[in-house]
Amino acid sequence: MTNTMADTSSRRFTKPCCTPIRVAVVVAVATAGFAGHVHAQAGDAEKRQVSVREIWRTYGDPGFGEVRGMAAWPDGTVWVGDNRLAEVSEVSADGRRVRVVLSEGEGPREVGRVHRLDALPNGGMIVRTSSHYHFFGPDKRLRKRRPRTASVWLWGFAAAPDGGFIQSGGYGSQASNELARYSVHRYDDNGDHQRSWHPAVDHDDWEIVRSASGGAISVTPQGGLLVSDAAPFRITRYADLNGNGAQLIIEDESIVSSAELERAVVRGSNNSIRYTEGWNKSVYVGELGNAHILNVSFFWPDDGGEDERAHTLWVVVSPDGEVVARTRVNAGYRVWNVTPDGYYLASLWDYDEFQFAAVKLEVSVSEP
């Protein structure tokens, strides 16, 4: 295996759950206000390559606390949800933070912690916080907000064509809850639960079931739903948004192993529980052209070093489940959404600046 210098080191990009990969290309990233950043990309030599390039990167002003969702408006502006600061910021089309849309408090335009947001088909936006669902119209004005009653350990969130939304994750706080058997949950445009489907994690430890069930989701152009379980690596396509017509596209433990579930929860000597982020998992799924599917998984290299930095694995899957492209990128992009013109919105922890950044990415797949 050949190693290529990345932005910080030349560590080997290997993982016990993954097949060996070779460095294929190094991409120089030119971004507004952030020059000279270089990412190493590595992929299987016999497969097509996924190229990832930053269009812009912003740290906010004075700075983001913890990015937990991004979505674009038709005019090109982007809303960024901040869980730690409990606010939603608007970023211009060229990557400049211009205003705070929602902030912490109790008024109509004030929120608790921001968990996720997505663009509505009518040109509006829905923001899910710790206390409410906020519905915005195409004019960016708050139309209504509804109390958040469901307790979903959120991994995936997507707006539905009817103005409602779908959430993916473990349900409730008790294993005895009937809906705890499922990990995809649909709600109407008032935030009322309609139905649930897609099996939760099959595990004896209820805390793992609750915190690791479900995964990334996206509504397809045909009106169906893609579900990519956090672990193991598994993508399922549903023909509609009611759980009908399930089709298993791919299941591959060599990409993300089911053993990763054991790392989601750490139990102390007195049976105390700590939920962790430091385990490998799928974080994004979405349809490309010709019904191909793009999946992004989060990885932590096991090289024994003290300065472990998250990587991402970008995989393209054909409609019949064949992996046609597979590329490792030495940047921990948490991909949240895709813009109307095909760019990807993501966040990452910048180890050099020691803060969160929101980024806009151009993603392309090489020809065979």
Check residue 113 and give its pLDDT.
83
Residue-level pLDDT at 48? 86
The DSSP bridge partners found for residue 167 are 157, 185
**Number of Cβ within a 10 Å radius of residue 276:** 10
Q: Around Cβ 55, how many Cβ atoms within 10 Å?
A: 17
d(CA 18, CA 12): 13
Cα angle: 77, vertex 159, 179; to 5 degrees? 145
For residue 10, the model assigns a pLDDT of 25
Question: What is the rounded CA–CA span in Å between residue 120 and residue 139?
Answer: 12
Domain residue ranges in the chain = 22-57+151-183+201-365
Output the pLDDT for position 73: 96
Residues of the chain falling short of pLDDT 70: 1-46, 105-111, 150, 302-307
pLDDT score of 28: 30
Question: Could you write out the DSSP letters of every residue in 199-222?
Answer: EPP--S-HHHHHHHS-EEEEE-TT
Global model pTM greater than 0.75:
yes
Instruction: Region of 85 please: left (phi>0), alpha (psi -120 to 50) or beta.
Output: alpha
Query: How many of the other CB atoms lie within 10 Å of CB of 306?
Result: 4
**pLDDT tens digits, 229-272:** 999 999 999 999 999 999 999 999 999 999 999 888 888 777 77
